[in-house]
Every structure is written in structure tokens, then in C-alpha cells.
Chains A and B, each alone.
Chain A
Amino acid sequence: MKSREQEYKEIFIAEALEYFDALNRHISTLEKQPDDEQTLAEIFRLLHNMKANSKAIGYLQISDVSHKLETAFSLIRNKELAFSDEVVTVLFDGIDLLGELITNIDSNQEAEPDPVLLRNLDIIVENLSDSAIELAKVQKYNTSKNLSLSDLVYIQIKKLDHLMNLVGELMIDRDRILSISKDMGNEELKTVSSHLYRITEDLQYSVMDARLVNIGSLFNKFPRIVRDIAAAEKKEVDLELIGQDIQIDRNILQIMTDSLLHLVRNAVTHGLETPAEREKKEKPRMGHLTLSAKSDRENVLIELADDGKGMDFKLIKRTAVERHLITADAAEGLTEAEVLSFLFEPGFSTAKEVTEFSGRGVGLDVVKNAIDSIGGRLMVKSEKGKGTTFSMQLPTSIAVKGALLFEVDEIFYAIPLIHTEQVIALDKDELHEVGDVMIADLKGEAITVVYLHELLNTDEHQMRLGDKSRLKGQVQNIVVVSYNNRKIGLIVDKLYRQQDIVVKPMSKPLDRIDLYGGVTLLGTGKVCLVLDVPATTRYFMNRRQAQEHV
């Protein structure tokens, strides 16, 4: 695989060549219609971008020539320089030089820009209307220009989506063929199918790779946004960006855009204190905001951390009680993580005033829903007086994900690994009936356990989620999942392996049933239901409350 630097270089060259083509087109237009403001503005824009891009990547000669040309055109725009024949020639030469320099990056030839031409450019820029100075004749070295097409193609994301779906279908069929070939025991078929396996795997990664973009393409928009919000809120904020070159699926980044904007706004308006308040607390005047990304094998972790005042746990509890989300008694015994989970209730807001940038009734639930929709996880940590950190764990790709397969009542299910914490086997005696639910003690942490068969298959009126006698067998396999800062153990009948699955969305009319995130086909051709952990958790809470009211 190419290094990232090489990739950047290629993108720069392709883009620059495109600019070069456009410049040639526009300057030819301009030669015929010297008063065309629009074309002039476009040339100006192209040169400006070329200057900035080449400077950023370190091609100073290109940047220098672009700068000179830009200056010349700005003079033309301001009518300080006439678009005369002599000037036109120099400008054409200058643009040709740009093209030359760009092509030379590619061929690794060290090319010095023609000093005569550079001087000519300086002359027209600096000597304004003084035409007394002779423009030296530039020796034309590129009379036989090569026509070349760009090495880069732009592609609609829709086409990549379609390609990804096709790869998904192919993988399902591949698994099926693999499983059939194992059953048939034909050596030749086995060889072919294992080759097919390798090719589809390569294909899958190539298509996934083609969809990746740098997280920096989103992160780099934030310094300006933060500056604007901070100015409006009269706060001083220092934004630190980390990991801009981490790559992520373009559609996932697109879905995250609004959420990240929302969290950043919140952090500046509600999280960070004013300079005066910070000084009183002996913190630096300037608030610190860190937006970071890092990736492990399968996921990308985006974190937004502020060193502001932290969440007010008491206020959250009080608001939760006022909104009847919990009784005052029960609120007392909550852990901090459980208190913070209220933040993601629909419309939950403790903000008293609406400002220009946040508190418009759009709560964190919107952020949570966006992350749920792509199968990610949202976590929040906060310490009073020290600050708040939002962590978003996102899959690198939408279509293919690691999942844990299991069986409940002879139906196959899968849960995406991003939601699973651990898998344990516990003896029935280690489960305790507490109130309406079962509790298990996991290394000192008490977690709620639910028998999936009871939750999914028992008539809702007869459901008894806290009844151990409904369990089958002595040893219980438990998949511990985590959602919205809380863990729940799901008891399954049989536990199978981990596997990469291609999730197909539920077809109509079943797409409205949110308990399932989709379906997948196993190698055997059997349909496997993909459980949606957020919806399953919600359904459990809902049933548990219904039990209490009976």
C-alpha cells in the first residue's frame, strides 16, 4: 500500500493539473473578452487555491509562481494593469510554467523555473504602467506540449454505496459456496472457493478503502467555528486537534458532522466557563478543548474533551425527577454513569437560557440517535470542576461488521461487537432475583441480567423478567452488552463464534420494527436476525416498567 504522503502528493498533482487546465481555458476566454469579470474572478480563485495548496504541501516554487500570477491578475482586476498583448504573453508563459512545474513533481525532475520568465512576471507586477522596460524574450521550451489526462477521477458516493452493497451480496454467496464445498468434499471446488474467498476479501477491503476520507476534512472546520462561538459567548478557547489523518468511511463522517457540531457548541457555551470564572477557580483564563481521533483494528474513537465546569450531577437528578423519568428516592442511589445517561433522554436539557448557539431544545438525544443509527457507541465522563469528555466509538465501515452469533429458541441472532462488553458463563445459583429483575455480580459490579427467550418470546402479559425458574439448564451463557452508560447481561441459549457479517437492512414492511438492526445470511443459507442493542435495551426497560405497574 502507498504511503499517505504519496497519496496526498497524487491528489495534489491531479487537482493542480485540473486547475492548470481551467486556467488555460479561462485565460483564453479572457484574451477575447478582457472585461469578463466573472472569468477574471475565477482565475483569481484558481490561482489563490493553487498557491495555498502548494504552499501547504511544500512545493514552494509552484506557490511562488502562483503568487506572482495572482498579483498580476489582481492588478488587472483593479484596472492598474492593462490586459495588453505583451502582458498576455507573459501571463500565458507564466501559466505554462506552472503546468511544467506541476508535471515535473510527478517525474521527479528538478526543474528550475526560467529566470527570464520570473523576471518578466516581476516586471509587469512591479512596474505597473511603465512600459518603457523591455520584457525579455522568453525562450519557449515547451512547443510540443503533451496532452495528458488526470490520474484522479471524482466519483459519486452513491456509486460507491452501490458497489459496497454488491460486495456485501457477493460475500454472502461466497460464504454459502464455501460451506457447500466443505460439505461436498470436492478438492477442486475447495481450492476454487478458497481462492474466491481471498479475492472477495481483497475486493471488500479495496472498496472500503476507496470510501475512506481523512477525519481532518471535518476537524479542520472547527477552529473557525469554535472561534465564532467563543467570540459570541465572550469566552477564550484554545482548540487542540489530534489525529486529523485518521481515516473513516465518508458516510459515517457525514452522519457525525451535525453531532460533532452540536457537542462542540455545547462544550463552548455550557461546558467552559468565562475567563473571569476560570481565574476565580485558579484555572488558566483560556479554556481548553481537545478534539481527537484515534483508531484501533475496527473502530475509530472520536473524543471531545473540555476542561470546563463538568456536569452538575445534582441538577441532572433534579431535572430527571421533575420530568418524572425517575422517582426522587431512586435518584438518590444512582451511580454517576447512570445519572449521566439521563442526558440522552429526548429533549432533556438543564439549560435555563437559550443562546444563539445552543439550548434550542435540541438535546443530546439527537447525537445519540445519530450514533445509534450507524451502530456506534456514545459514552460520557464528567468530573465536577474538571471537565467533560464525550467519547464516540464508530465503526470504520457501515456494511461489514464483526458480530457475535448466538441462538435463542432455535433462532439465530447476531449482536455487533461494538456493543458487546464480554461473554461469561455463570451458574444459575450466581444469578439473584432482585425485585423484578435478575442481578449478577461481575467482579464486584452488579449488573442486570435478562433472559432473552423470556423477553422476546413470552406473551407480554405473562412476562416475568425476574423469575429464575424460567431459565433452562444450570449454566447460563451471558452476553454483556453496554448501551448509554449501562450494562445489561443477555442470557442466550447457545453461544456461537464471532464472525464478520454483512448487515442487510430489513425490507419493508418490517423496517419499522426497531428491535432488529437488519438481517444477515449465514453460510448455511439460514437467516440470522441482527439485534439492535439500543432498541433491545429500551424494550427491556419498557417491559420492566410495565411489570412494576401490574
Chain B
Amino acid sequence: MAKQTQTADKTAEKPAENDKAAAMDAPAAEGKKAAEPQPVKEEMVHLIVFKLGAEYYAIKIEQVKEVNITPATTRMPRTPHFVKGVANIRGDIIAIIDLEDRFNIRPAPLLDGLNPDLTYTLVIEAKGYSIGVTVKEMPQSLNLPISKIDKAPSFLQDVNISENFIEGLARTGDRLIIVLDMHKILTQDEVRELPG
């Protein structure tokens, strides 16, 4: 048990250690994980952690195709407010959405030294298409034993994100991370047609 905690602590420190380029390149980070022998046999999850408002959120790395600096986005008039527009990522034109707007999360004041014009886009792979999710701070990668994720937190009814989208809560050190199931968000997001 003690051993397990130790591993968790060690992995929790990883994001801080990772230099920025490694965090940007998710597959490289995955490679690093494979190279590092895990002393404990327990199944691990690899998460991409990002901030919405003042809280930490995460998506499982299998659902993330790549992380980019947000490319030039063309606004699309008369689409829902959380759709920031469309962007050209390597010839694919994908929708860019803002989860803070989507879930009515109050944006946190920007940290000192962060460029407000520089945001990051997580490209999420869904069935047959991709979608971009913008975040203000550089996403980080995190390895966690699966037992660290509380699958059914009891206080979910108080959260304004429908519980269907939340896969669980992860605790590492003093941080609380809300793990989202992006596929559920995407399938439930009904971008409706215009009236008339």
C-alpha cells in the first residue's frame, strides 16, 4: 500500500518535471511512460490535465489525438455560443469548442506572464470526426493508478456539469482532478439547426 502511494506521488510530480515540449507532444510522453518500468502491477491511466476556470480537468489520453497551439480560427456566425469556429489542422477542418462556455464555467483570471492570445487546442478523436477543445494553459500529462480515480463521487448532483460527462474524480497530492468522458460530451452535444 505504501509502495502504491509512493508511485502515485512520483507520477504526480511528473507534469512539473516534463519540459513544455514533451507535454505538448502527447505520444512522446506516452513513450516515456512505457520506457519507465512500473514497480506496481496495478493498471495505470494516462491523463491529459488542463484547467477550466479555476479547476483541473482531465481527459484520458486515448481520447486525445494531439495537442496544438490553437490555430487561426474562423468564426462561424449563428452557431451556439460555445462553438468558437472552425480551424484548419493539417488540412482537416474541425470545429473548435470552448468547454468553459459550454458548461458555464467562470473563467479564472489569467496567471501573470501568460499571453492571452496564445491558447492550446486538444484535438479529440470521436467516431469518424475530430473536434478541438481550447484551453488557456498548457495541458499536462499525468500517469495515475486507476484506483486513484473515484468513479462515483457522491456530491455530483451539486456540480453543474451533468454527471454523465464525469468519469470520476482523481486525487493526487493536494490536487483534485475532474476526469471527463469526452465521447459522452460529444454525443450529447446537440448542435441544433437554425430555426425555420
A457→B91 contact, CB < 8 A? no
Among candidates B75, B87, B129, B195, residue contacting A542 with C-beta atoms closer than 8 Å: B195
A542→B79 contact, CB < 8 A? no
Q: Decide yes or no whether A361 CB sits under 8 A from chain B.
A: no
* A:507-550 near B, CB below 8 Å: 507-510, 512-516, 519, 521, 525-529, 535, 538-539, 541-542
With a CB–CB cut-off of 8 A, which chain A residues contact B88? 521, 525-527
Which of B77, B86, B131, B192 has the most chain A CB atoms closer than 10 A to its own CB? Answer: B77
A526→B72 contact, CB < 8 A? yes
Closest to A528 in B: B74
With a CB–CB cut-off of 8 A, which chain A residues contact B74? 411-412, 526-529
Q: Decide yes or no whether B174 CB sits under 8 A from chain A.
A: no
Closest to A173 in B: B91
With a CB–CB cut-off of 8 A, which chain B residues contact A512? 190-193
B129→A508 contact, CB < 8 A? yes
With a CB–CB cut-off of 8 A, which chain A residues contact B76? 510, 513, 516, 529
Q: Decide yes or no whether A321 CB sits under 8 A from chain B.
A: no
Kindly provide the distance from the CB of B103 to the nearest chain A CB, expressed in whole angstroms.
16
* B:138-196 near A, CB below 8 Å: 186, 189-196
* B:91-125 near A, CB below 8 Å: 91-95
With a CB–CB cut-off of 8 A, which chain A residues contact B72? 526
Q: Decide yes or no whether B7 CB sits under 8 A from chain A.
A: no
Count the B residues whose beta carbon is within 8 Å of the partner chain — how many?
A: 30
With a CB–CB cut-off of 8 A, which chain A residues contact B130? 507
B196→A542 contact, CB < 8 A? yes
Among candidates A172, A538, A541, residue contacting B91 with C-beta atoms closer than 8 Å: A172
Which of A173, A412, A508 has the most chain B CB atoms closer than 10 A to its own CB? Answer: A508
Q: Decide yes or no whether B64 CB sits under 8 A from chain A.
A: no
Contact code string B67-82 (vs A, CB < 8 Å = 1, else 0): 0000010111111000
Q: Decide yes or no whether B37 CB sits under 8 A from chain A.
A: no
Kindly provide the distance from the CB of B90 to the nearest chain A CB, expressed in whole angstroms.
11
With a CB–CB cut-off of 8 A, which chain B residues contact A514? 193-194
* A:466-508 near B, CB below 8 Å: 504, 507-508
A418–B76 Cα distance when bound, in Å, is: 23
A535→B191 contact, CB < 8 A? no
With a CB–CB cut-off of 8 A, which chain A residues contact B78? 456, 513, 515, 539
B86→A521 contact, CB < 8 A? no
Q: Decide yes or no whether B31 CB sits under 8 A from chain A.
A: no
Contacts A456-B78, A508-B131 given; indicate if A513 touches B193 (C-beta within 8 A): yes
With a CB–CB cut-off of 8 A, which chain B residues contact A539? 78, 194, 196
A509→B95 contact, CB < 8 A? yes
A513→B194 contact, CB < 8 A? yes
Among candidates A508, A513, A526, A541, residue contacting B128 with C-beta atoms closer than 8 Å: A508
Closest to A460 in B: B78
Q: Decide yes or no whether A169 CB sits under 8 A from chain B.
A: yes
Closest to A542 in B: B196
Kindly provide the distance from the CB of B60 to the nearest chain A CB, expressed in whole angstroms.
20
B93→A509 contact, CB < 8 A? no
A510→B77 contact, CB < 8 A? no
With a CB–CB cut-off of 8 A, which chain A residues contact B92? 507
A510→B87 contact, CB < 8 A? no
B191→A510 contact, CB < 8 A? yes
With a CB–CB cut-off of 8 A, which chain A residues contact B95? 507-510
A514–B76 Cα distance when bound, in Å, is: 12
Among candidates A169, A173, A509, A513, residue contacting B131 with C-beta atoms closer than 8 Å: A509
Contacts A508-B126, A510-B83, A515-B78 given; indicate if A527 touches B93 (C-beta within 8 A): yes
With a CB–CB cut-off of 8 A, which chain B residues contact A529? 74, 76, 86
A510–B80 Cα distance when bound, in Å, is: 10
A509→B191 contact, CB < 8 A? yes
Given A509-B190, A513-B194; 19 other pairs, CB 8 A cutoff: A411-B74, A456-B77, A507-B93, A507-B94, A507-B129, A507-B130, A508-B128, A508-B131, A509-B131, A509-B191, A510-B86, A512-B192, A513-B76, A521-B91, A521-B93, A526-B88, A527-B93, A528-B74, A541-B196
Closest 3 pairs (CB-CB, A-B): A542-B196, A456-B77, A527-B74
7 residue pairs A–B, Cβ–Cβ below 8 Å: A507-B94, A509-B95, A514-B194, A515-B77, A519-B86, A526-B74, A529-B76
Query: What residues of chain A have their CB less than 8 Å away from a CB belonging to chain B?
Result: 169, 172-173, 409, 411-412, 456-457, 504, 507-510, 512-516, 519, 521, 525-529, 535, 538-539, 541-542
